[in-house]
Structure 1
Amino acid sequence: MADHLLPNSLMEVLGLAAILVFLLTSISAVLAALLVARDNLFYLGFQFIGLALALILSEAWLFDLAFAGILDDRATYRQAAWTTLVLAITYTIDMGLKIFVWEGVLARDGREAVPRLLVNVVRFLIYLLGLLIVLQFIYDQSITALATLSGAFAIVLGLSAQTTLGEMFAGIAIALSRPFRIGDWVKIGNMDEGRIIDMTWRLVRLELRDRTVVHLTNRQCAELPVKNFSFPNSAIRMAEDIFFPRGSDQDRVKAVVRRAIGEVPTVLADPPPNAVYMSARDGVDHYSMRFYIREYNLRRRIVEQVWRSVTKHLDREEMPIAQPRQAVDQFSRPVPAPTAEPEAT
């Protein structure tokens, strides 16, 4: 009597095999997520999607075989299968955002940078959308009132937390564009240069050279120009002006300066240091000493070492350093006589 209920065609056999495969792999994915790695939770969603599709495609024979005594009719079976599919897709999207966005693209130094509040709000909206789809398109229930209430709640929440949300989204923009990282030496806007020591969903902490810490909001960092001295290339070019008497031998000046800079161990050999003739002005020849360094936090110390090496070589070669002439206007003006204080009465 029950033989006709068993799958007896190739498509039905393949459908039963698919159901068994997806059911077993779903159980395996659950066990792997609990015992091995939570990343398997994302792939578990695909197993549920495949299982739901197999249930939908096998409705013709599977309902009579396994669900006739449990569910009232085929319509109930169809609604349950499609609900499983929508919830599986919703779950997969949620896990994909968790693994590849919250803990992936937007993570900083292996930890979440997006506030937990924003993550939970996004998760709530994803599952709410899945619920609305199920009610509207599977169970033919009107969702106008629920959608209106959800929209009003979202508007009230957005207006009440406008500043906080602005900082959140500015932090997300910084995490995506990555203009700087923790440890980078940067100059933000007109502020003094400093090193990034911490980045949160709301603030960026910048330690200046005098060891003071400046707290900048993510919105400020997103709106102000950022000059990064450490990323993407850690080799930073330095330029120092130096002057010689008019008519000095340019080739000799360049050779001595290049050799002197090259002997400083903290200066990079590639690109090689150089001396560039800029102009003749104020009675002197103007040169620019250019060299590259890697440790920007030691910039002042390296510049000092460069000047020591250059002056030592110039003294050895008896090549004096000049200073531009400066015109000073002197003028005098009469000093007003002090006014007499009124006599006390």
Structure 2
Amino acid sequence: MFGDHHFLALVLINLLGLAGIVVWCFQGRGRPMARLIAQILFFAGMTAVLGFSGILPHWVAETDLTDIQGAGAYLAKSARILWWIHLAWTLVGFVRLYVVVEHRPREARLLQELVVAVIYLGVALSITGFVFGVPVATLAATSGVVAIIVGLALQNTLGDVFSGIALTLGRPYTLGDWIMLSDGTEGRIVETTWRSTHLLTGANNIVVVPNSVLAKISLTNLSRPDERQLISLTVRIAATHAPHIIEEAMHAALQKCQRIVKDPAPLVALKDIDAVAIGIDLLFCVAGPGDRLLARNDVIDLVHRHCEANGLFLAMSPQSYAVVLPATADQPPATVMRSRSSGAL
């Protein structure tokens, strides 16, 4: 029969379980380590009492509690339920502590929520089968048709969910990275959810991209290996001075710019030369994608200033050049502008 030692053990397990819930609530999420330690202590105490009393939580209810009647039966079921709940909380505590220790609390949120959901689902099924004796296999088979119908109805949403999981595991980007999509959209990742990824663009707008779309298109992570970006600016200087003089003036202009990084050092590449001008590519790096506009503006301003200071002149683009028409009997030679692209006078 159901002895006094069993009754006292069940009472003690219930008291430990309820006390653990109170401590778990008062600890809060701000102290994950203290919360996990408390969970482990209460769970270990409940497990020890269950083991010493010979009531194991993974046994089916009808096989070991046939002699427990009345209040004792309710105490036995509540003790098992509390034990399974504390097991779930302990496992969830380990998962969340790992995320905190790895210093990835935000980008690992999707994977963390998935693992937590699997833990809670497993514990719920365990309570249903081991405590209440419900045949879980039959229940799962019965709900299979409903699951198929729901899956077909939520096909797009499930595609986004699994794509989000794949992106989280593959880690092509993390929160805070600046990415550029194949269609030209670019921005900084500010949030990732089960269904979509949110980008904050340079225009201070939020672009919501479904995870299934993001998993199919190519993207460029502008934040890896770091956020420095190379910018190329093409200028044409009139060929009135030697190329090395023009090159030194452009180097001086880049060195004066405070909005570009000096490591790697900016470069001046002489691109081409003709009878009118010398084409130059100015290559320089900025600290991040957000600095591109201001840095380009500063470089253009400094190039103009150094051209004036060194007696240099900006030349027209190669698409436009002068053509001298031959003189006729009744008018002198004339100079007109011809567009190379259109070929029209």
TM-score higher than 0.5: yes
Matched, 1:89 2:79: no
Matched, 1:311 2:304: yes
Matched, 1:131 2:127: yes
Q: 1:283 to 1:101 in 2, by over 3 A?
A: same
Aligned residues: 295
Q: Distance in 2 between matches of 1:269 and 1:125?
A: 55
Q: Which residue of 2 aligns with 1:9?
A: none
Q: Distance in 2 between matches of 1:242 and 1:156?
A: 63
Give the gaps of 5 or more residues in structure 1.
Answer: 1-5, 7-15, 61-69, 333-345
| 3-state SS of paired residue (1:308) | helix
Matched, 1:267 2:260: yes
Q: Distance in 1 between matches of 2:161 and 2:96?
A: 17
The normalised TM-score by structure 1 is 0.62
Which residue of 270, 278, 300 corresponds with 1:277? Answer: 270
Q: Distance in 2 between matches of 1:135 and 1:164?
A: 34
Q: Distance in 1 between matches of 2:96 and 2:146?
A: 24
* Mapped contact 1:186–1:227 kept (Cα < 8 A): yes
Alignment of 1:53-64 (within 5 A): 53-55=47-49, 58=52
Deviations 1:142-184 (A, max 9, x none): 54312312444443333322222222333344455262535x5
Deviations 1:80-125 (A, max 9, x none): 89887666534433444566569x9885399x66899x79964652
Q: Distance in 1 between matches of 2:220 and 2:251?
A: 28
* Mapped contact 2:88–2:120 kept (Cα < 8 A): no
Q: 1:199 to 1:30 in 2, by over 3 A?
A: closer
Q: Which residue of 2 aligns with 1:50?
A: 44
* Mapped contact 1:25–1:47 kept (Cα < 8 A): no
| 3-state SS of paired residue (2:233) | strand
Q: Distance in 2 between matches of 1:235 and 1:155?
A: 48
Deviation at 1:260, TM superposition (A): 0.5
Q: Distance in 1 between matches of 2:166 and 2:103?
A: 11
Give the gaps of 5 or more residues in structure 2.
Answer: 55-64, 320-339
Q: Which amino acid aligns with 1:181?
A: L
Q: Which amino acid aligns with 2:121?
A: L
* Mapped contact 1:107–1:175 kept (Cα < 8 A): no
Alignment of 1:175-186 (within 5 A): 175=168, 177=171, 179-181=173-175, 185-186=178-179
Q: Which amino acid aligns with 2:141?
A: T
CA root-mean-square deviation: 4.9
- Give the fraction of aligned pairs with identical amino acids, expressed as a percent: 20
Deviation at 1:236, TM superposition (A): 2.0
Alignment of 1:289-308 (within 5 A): 289-294=282-287, 296-308=289-301
Q: Distance in 2 between matches of 1:108 and 1:150?
A: 34
* Mapped contact 1:135–1:142 kept (Cα < 8 A): no
Q: Distance in 1 between matches of 2:282 and 2:111?
A: 45
Alignment of 1:313-332 (within 5 A): 313-323=306-316, 325-326=318-319, 327-328=340-341, 330=343
Deviation at 1:52, TM superposition (A): 4.9
Alignment of 1:195-344 (within 5 A): 195-196=188-189, 199-206=192-199, 208=201, 214-230=207-223, 233-244=226-237, 249-278=242-271, 285-294=278-287, 296-323=289-316, 325-326=318-319, 327-328=340-341, 330=343
* Mapped contact 1:197–1:207 kept (Cα < 8 A): yes
